[in-house]
Amino acid sequence: MKRWLIWVPFVVFVGLMWLVAGQLLAPADRTVRSAMVDQPLPTFALPANQPDKPGLATADFGQGQPRLLNVFASWCVPCIAEAPQLMALKQAGARIDAVAVRDTPANVARFLNRYGDPYERIGDDKASQVQLALGSSGVPETFVIDGKGRIVAQHIGEIRADEVPGILAMLRKAR
């Protein structure tokens, strides 16, 4: 009758190994969401990154029109993949501003000439201070800013073509 008790440690061991293996094989969600969503934009004023475009400041938002704020860099490979979608958003009427992170004006100019320029303003964030203030953990990231200057949504990573309609809907909702 007590013979089955000899198998209890083995069954417990197998159960623990099954649990550990399941956790090791399941990908962890390492996405860092911004705590700034549903908050007003932090106060900032960035100089222009490009001579033909103005810089970017908090005062440029909250004037009744929702806008996209794209955090990007010319050295960012996913930013290249995202460029056609940003152009599609612009063609659909989205107003897009940008924060160029740890980049040079010459490299940004080459990037825009090669992949398209959807931006109205580009701020130069040499030390990533605005990027960090927004709660952005990397590039690219795009924030939907409502007409009152409040962050209403965050899109982490490059925007894919199938996500463009959803972002346009968020902009319409943010009026």
CB atoms within 10 A of CB 79: 21
pLDDT confidence band for 43 (50 / 70 / 90): very high
pTM of the model: 0.83
How sure is the predictor about 134, in pLDDT bands with cuts at 50, 70 and 90?
very high
User: pLDDT digits over 77-117, tens only?
Assistant: 999 999 999 999 999 999 999 999 999 999 999 999 999 99
* pLDDT value for 35: 84
Q: Decide: 167 and 142 in contact? Cβ < 8 Å.
A: yes
Q: How many residues does the chain have?
A: 175
Q: What are the structural domains of the chain?
A: 45-173 (3.40.30.10)
The Cα 62–Cα 23 span in angstroms is 44
